[in-house]
Structure 1
Amino acid sequence: MNALGVAQRDRALVLAALVALTALAWAYTIYLGLGSSSMTMVGDMAMPMMMQWSVADFVFMLIMWAVMMFAMMLPSVTPAVMIYERVRAKREEAGRPFVPTGSFVAGYLLVWLGFSLAATVLNWWLHTGGALSSMMGRVAPTVGGVMLIFAGLFQWTPLKNACLEHCRSPMSFLTAHWQEGSLGAAKMGLRHGAYCLGCCWMLMVLLFVLGVMNLPWVAVLTIVVLAEKTLPFGRFLSRGLGVVLIVWGGWLIMLA
């Protein structure tokens, strides 16, 4: 097989691996989401003294958050991974040492694993404090309204715009931050993941408003994140969404 054939085969394998990983993450997320309704009802009827978490509860919720984040973020990072794979293959043809694309992906996912840990701690704090209706429930309307307004305002901040620009321009990112070797690839994945976290974290926090395992909203947020990063009018979509979130939050507060 010639070099072009090898490169095409490798790109196909990388894409297949990403699709398989995304499918597995979504399958597990859907499985948990379908089973969370009964857990939410039980949680709503539970007394405060029954809201304490065990170590097993914490580990379960950490896994849930991590898998859900992987399901939501892998579709939007796939273009960046495929560009990385193309650049990596060209550099290998030029005599550079082989570096697995998995190192870049692992670095990226490590960032979202860290976010999942933070989200699990916040989940625990809200639930054990009585602010969350159940382990996978939602916050009170007033709190949710405030969170929506903050999320809407964040959509207009320079930080959001700067991080989004890096996510929207993966080739420019790779050109500016390229590092050699597997460790270098992992560091690039970490850096790219940090930019993605910087532009998306407030949208992920909205799951506490919409319902931690509310599958329709998980799907909607996934589409929003993907659209922000890939569509030509992603920046305008982001700001328009900010207005919607601010109005929605104000409406929730007025109704509370």
Structure 2
Amino acid sequence: MRTVQHPAVEGRPLRTGVLMPARDLAVAWSLIALIAVLAWLFTVGQALDMGVEPGTMGMALPLFLLLWVAMMAAMMLPSVAPVAVTWAKGIARQSTGAVRAVRTTGFLGGYLLVWGAFGLLAYGGLALTGHLVDDHPDAGHWIGAAAYALAGLYQLGPLKYVCLRHCRSPMAQLMHYAGYRPPLRDLRVGLHHGAYCLGCCWALMLALVPLGVMNVAAMAGLAVLIFLEKLWRYGPQLARVAGIAFLALAVVSLFQGWPLPGLQPSGDMGM
């Protein structure tokens, strides 16, 4: 049987040289891929029915949070998969396949719980912007410019790169996680990593305010950007390029409507 090497994570410092069957890796990757695909199918199906509109589009908070978590799973799991799989490799030595699947799910559950909590803030912000645009249509330009500007400035700021370095170094993370103890160890690991991921990517989600929360093209574009930032060799440089692009969009949004599909009525795109 073909094997790969992995670090030990069961309450000890990481070390190399422990063999793990390749099929164990396949189980972890398959689980994450299945969740991500199902999340994309659900999100796209909902988006096609709802369209791109300002605010919360009439959704109550529970429905919004359900859709938000599905969106985050679709957008974020491809980039978090290497960390989750590395964690699964670490727990494989002393676990059965079923236990590994449960523990990997616990990690992903903790990760998505962080983004679900952020969804509460997102709902409040979208509700506010929706009311402002309804009452003052021209406010969309200022809201969009502010969202792009904040996203751009954060992309260029130091905190972004503290969190991005953490997300780009899964082995260093797992050396810290190795000291975690039950109960709910895997959930806590997911929460911890999710907090760093939130610190890395929350400002990018601000772009969904002017672009539209249910804008599938925008979601896909941001998902690709996040994936490349975390996994590509030139990810940090790409993050800076994206920051400059957001700042440029902030300026353009003050005078043009095309960067603001999520902040104006359908068909009113050419201001």
Given the two structures, how large is their TM-score scaled by the length of structure 2? 0.78
Aligned to 1:221: 222
- The 2-side partners of 1:173 and 1:132 are apart by 45
Map of 1:47 onto structure 2? none
SS at match of 2:213: coil
Would the aligned equivalents of 1:75 and 1:226 in 2 still touch at CA under 8 Å? yes
Distance in 1 between the 2:87 and 2:105 partners? 10
- Cα offset for 1:2? 10
Cα distance in 2 between the residues matched to 1:158 and 1:239: 11
For 1:65-104, what aligned pairs fall within 5 Å after superposition? 65-90=68-93, 92=94, 100-104=103-107
Contact 1:100 1:182 (8 Å CA) reproduced: no
1:73-98 C-alpha deviation (Å, 9 max, x unpaired) = 111100111111112224x28xxx97
Unaligned runs of 5+ in 1: 45-50, 134-138
| 3-state SS in 2 of match to 1:101 | helix
What is the alpha-carbon distance in structure 2 between the residues aligned to residue 207 and residue 185 of structure 1? 30
- Alignment check: 8 A CA contact 2:88 2:104 kept: yes
Question: Where does 1:107-146 land on structure 2 (aligned, <5 Å)?
Answer: 107-127=110-130, 129-131=131-133, 140-146=140-146
SS at match of 2:254: helix
* CA–CA separation in structure 2 for the residues paired with 1:22 and 1:231: 20
SS at match of 1:143: helix
Task: Give 2:167's aligned residue.
Answer: 167
Give the superposition deviation at 1:187. Answer: 1.2
The alignment covers a number of residue pairs equal to 235
Deviation at 1:145, TM superposition (A): 1.2
**In structure 2, do the counterparts of structure 1 residues 231 and 223 end up closer, same or farther at CA, with 3 Å as the change threshold?**
same
Partner Cα separation in structure 1 for residue 3 and residue 143 of structure 2: 57
Indicate if the aligned counterparts of 2:20 and 2:92 stay in contact, CA closer than 8 A.
no
Equivalent residue number for residue 39 of structure 2: 25
**Contact in 1 for aligned 2:144/2:253 (Cα 8 Å):** yes
RMSD: 2.8
* Amino acid of the structure 1 residue aligned with 2:72: M
Query: Hey, which of these two has a bigger chunk of helix by percent?
Result: 1
Change (3 A) 1:120 1:8: same
Look up the equivalent residue of 1:152 and give its one-letter code.
G
Cα separation, 1, equivalents of 2:122 and 2:223: 17
What is the one-letter code of the residue matched to 2:199? G
TM-aligned CA deviation for residue 117 of structure 1: 2.1
| Deviation >4 Å, runs of 4+ | 1-6
Letter in 2 for 1:216: A
1:120, distance to aligned residue in structure 2 (A): 1.7
- Partners of 2:187 and 2:81 in 1: CA distance: 16
Deviations 1:44-71 (A, max 9, x none): 9xxxxxx996xx7222222111111111
Q: Distance in 1 between matches of 2:113 and 2:168?
A: 20
Q: What amino acid maps onto 1:130 in structure 2?
A: L
Unaligned residue ranges in structure 2 (runs of 5+): 5-18, 258-271
Query: Given that residues 103 and 185 in structure 1 are in contact (C-alpha distance below 8 angstroms), is that contact kept between their aligned partners in structure 2?
Result: yes
1:196 is the counterpart of 2:197: yes
Over residues 16-52 of structure 1, what are the superposed CA-to-partner deviations in whole Å (9 max), with x where a residue is unaligned? 1111111110001110111122x74xx89xxxxxx99
| Bigger shift: residues 160-169 or 12-21 | 12-21
Distance in 2 between the 1:237 and 1:82 partners?
Answer: 25
- Partner Cα distance (1:219, 1:52) in 2: 20
AA matched with 2:219: V
Q: How much has 1:3 moved relative to structure 2?
A: 8.8
Residue 65 to residue 219, structure 1, CA distance change in 2 (3 Å): same
1:173-216 deviation digits (Å, cap 9, x = unpaired): 11123213352222111110000000100101211110110110
**Structure 2 counterpart SS, 1:232:** coil
* Distance in 2 of aligned mates of 1:62 and 1:106: 14
Displacement of 1:123 in angstroms is 2.0
Most deviating of 246-255 and 28-37: 246-255
